């Protein structure tokens, strides 16, 4: 059993008061190696064999526990985004095998998936530099904000794939031709990405691996062909990684 599976299985069945006094017993129950935090510190780290784990403290309370699943380059380009989604999907699938489908879904640039457990909310969180498992007393209430698009000259298919993989729930992106006609529309919910183009509809369940976004984007790019240079997009907010001008 992987360290992720062992940790999830243990944390899912433990109910506790989030007291610092109970933290050593919790760490032992999960199978981590206890390291006494320095006096006055706001965080502490444990050995997770393999990997690193830790806790954030506020006075006599623990505000969060985490397990680092993968540390990686903080590159923000489209290729890095798609590689991150592969790891995120694999981690979500592992937890889902134990706890079922996630009850909390937060697509976006730094997506997360969460499961309600006895002590609060377990989350897989995909950030540029690290893939983490978190246990928090309560779920995050808001998805992360959109960031400005990355202008890196990447080919349309890769940029579009990364953009689709970064849409938050509720986002609607409309791709327009030079005359203002609609060539495609992308709609992200907390469970699916729906893409309509030329009368066809494609539905991608969330979370999806980077390869799935690549295939979807390649199909759209092939459909547009040489016309791609004349396309623009319309959305309430800028879309990260999409190498098209905003209409």
pLDDT tens digits for 176-218? Answer: 998 889 999 999 999 999 999 988 999 999 999 999 999 999 9
Which residues are CB-contacts of 81 (< 8 A; sequence separation ≥ 6)? 162, 165, 166, 210, 241
Least confident stretch, 61-70, 87-96, 201-210, 221-230: 221-230
Same domain for 30 and 73, yes or no, is yes
Domain end point (choices 67, 101, 136)? 136
How many domains, in total, are found in the chain?
2
User: How many angstroms separate the CA atoms of 146 and 172, rounded?
Assistant: 13
Same domain for 165 and 204, yes or no, is yes
Q: What is the pLDDT of residue 213?
A: 96
> How would residue 89 be classed by pLDDT, with cut points 50, 70 and 90?
very high
Handedness of CA 4, 114, 139, 79 (dihedral sign): positive
Asked if the structure places residue 142 within a domain, the reply is no
Q: Model confidence over 140-180: pLDDT tens digits?
A: 444 444 444 433 334 789 999 999 999 999 999 999 998 88
Least confident stretch, 33-37, 112-116, 138-142: 138-142
Q: What is the pLDDT of residue 15?
A: 82
Same domain for 31 and 126, yes or no, is yes
Same domain for 171 and 96, yes or no, is no
Range of the domain at 102: 3-136
Same domain for 72 and 9, yes or no, is yes
In the chain, alpha helices (H): 3-13, 23-30, 78-99, 156-164, 210-224
R_g of the chain computed on alpha carbons: 20
Same domain for 17 and 127, yes or no, is yes
> How would residue 52 be classed by pLDDT, with cut points 50, 70 and 90?
confident
Asked if the structure places residue 143 within a domain, the reply is no
Same domain for 45 and 10, yes or no, is yes
Asked if the structure places residue 148 within a domain, the reply is no
Domain end point (choices 79, 101, 136)? 136
Number of DSSP helices (H) and strands (E) in the chain, helices first: 5, 12
Same domain for 57 and 119, yes or no, is yes
Token readout for 108 is: 């976006």
Tell me the whole-structure pTM to 2 decimals. 0.78
Asked if the structure places residue 151 within a domain, the reply is no
- Higher pLDDT among residues 35 and 184, named by residue: 184
Q: What is the pLDDT of residue 36?
A: 82
User: How many angstroms separate the CA atoms of 5 and 69, rounded?
Assistant: 11
Domain end point (choices 68, 102, 136)? 136
């Amino acid at each position: 059993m992987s360290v992720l599976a062992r940790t999830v299985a243990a944390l899912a069945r433990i109910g506790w008061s989030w007291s610092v006094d109970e933290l050593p017993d919790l760490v032992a129950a999960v199978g981590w190696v206890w390291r006494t935090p320095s006096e006055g510190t706001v965080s502490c780290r444990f050995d997770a064999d393999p990997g690193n784990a830790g806790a954030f403290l506020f006075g006599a309370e623990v505000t969060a526990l985490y397990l680092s699943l993968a540390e990686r380059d903080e590159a923000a380009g489209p290729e890095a985004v798609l590689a991150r989604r592969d790891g995120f999907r694999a981690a979500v699938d592992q937890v889902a095998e134990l706890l079922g489908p996630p009850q909390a879904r937060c697509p976006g640039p730094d997506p997360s998936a969460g499961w309600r457990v006895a002590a609060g909310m377990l989350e897989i969180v995909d950030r540029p530099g690290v893939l983490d498992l978190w246990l928090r007393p309560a779920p995050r209430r808001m998805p992360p904000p959109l960031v400005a698009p990355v202008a890196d000259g990447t080919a349309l298919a890769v940029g579009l794939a990364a953009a689709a993989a970064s849409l938050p729930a509720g986002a609607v992106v409309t791709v327009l031709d030079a005359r203002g006609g609609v060539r495609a529309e992308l709609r992200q919910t907390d469970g699916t990405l729906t893409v309509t183009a030329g009368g066809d509809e494609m539905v991608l369940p969330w979370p999806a691996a980077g390869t799935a976004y690549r295939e979807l984007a390649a199909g759209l790019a092939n459909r547009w062909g040489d016309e791609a240079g004349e396309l623009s997009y319309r959305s309430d907010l800028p879309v990260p990684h999409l190498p098209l001008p905003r209409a």
